[in-house]
């Protein structure tokens, strides 16, 4: 992972919408590994080819197996690759433990962390529930379904609602007391 540490760190510490969370960093890193193996096997990685393959590897089991055998047939060591894929927990631990010397984890950062970790957990749980409902035929969609979880904050005085990350970024929920 060492070669990519700088890029991981850069994206992790970026400001505003450029900032990637652990989950997005894990996706970025895993897609990078997949692209490298696809390149080695001589497959096209133009456009979003690797991204879309990675997404499908992470979707329904049937879809994932289809993509996996397609890649295996093309010479991509897919089983090894899949066991090398990292979770957001690995990225989090890695950034904290291995890079702590370079990272400013001063007071205040645990709050963003707590929000991100619980949002990731919620997303994972909902994804599993949605997958199960789809398998049981109780939820239908024309394509792959992705889940996004956003916690919102609301001022009980003026009822302004804002996503928690935006509120933290701009440092206010509302200004109804101005």
The contact set with Zn ion (CB under 5 A) reads: 155, 157-158, 174, 176
The nearer residue to Zn ion, 103 or 153, going by C-beta atoms, is 153
Q: Residue ranges of the alpha helices (H) in 75-141?
A: 78-84, 88-97, 109-135
Structure letter (DSSP) for residue 86: P
Q: Distance between CA 80 and CA 21 in Å, rounded?
A: 25
Least separation in angstroms between residue 31's CB and Zn ion is 41
Least separation in angstroms between residue 158's CB and Zn ion is 3
Least separation in angstroms between residue 168's CB and Zn ion is 16
Q: Distance between CA 82 and CA 34 in Å, rounded?
A: 9
Nearest 5°: CA angle at 82, between 79 and 83?
Answer: 90
The nearer residue to Zn ion, 150 or 157, going by C-beta atoms, is 157
Q: Distance between CA 145 and CA 153 in Å, rounded?
A: 26
Least separation in angstroms between residue 165's CB and Zn ion is 18
């Amino acid at each position: 992972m060492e070669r990519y540490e700088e890029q991981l760190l850069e994206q992790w510490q970026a400001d505003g919408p450029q900032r990637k969370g652990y989950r997005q960093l894990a996706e970025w890193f895993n897609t990078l590994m997949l692209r490298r193996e696809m390149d080695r096997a001589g497959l096209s990685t133009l456009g979003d080819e690797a991204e879309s393959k990675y997404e499908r590897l992470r979707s329904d089991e049937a879809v994932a197996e289809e993509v996996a055998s397609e890649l295996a047939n093309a010479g991509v060591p897919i089983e090894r690759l899949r066991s090398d894929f990292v979770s957001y927990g690995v990225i989090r631990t890695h950034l904290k433990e291995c890079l702590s010397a370079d990272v400013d984890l001063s007071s205040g950062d645990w709050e963003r962390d707590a929000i991100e970790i619980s949002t990731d957990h919620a997303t994972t749980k909902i994804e599993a529930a949605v997958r199960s409902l789809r398998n049981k035929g109780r939820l239908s969609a024309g394509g792959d379904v992705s889940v996004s979880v956003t916690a919102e904050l609301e001022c009980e005085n003026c009822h302004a609602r804002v996503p928690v990350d935006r509120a933290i970024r701009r440092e206010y929920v509302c200004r109804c007391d101005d």
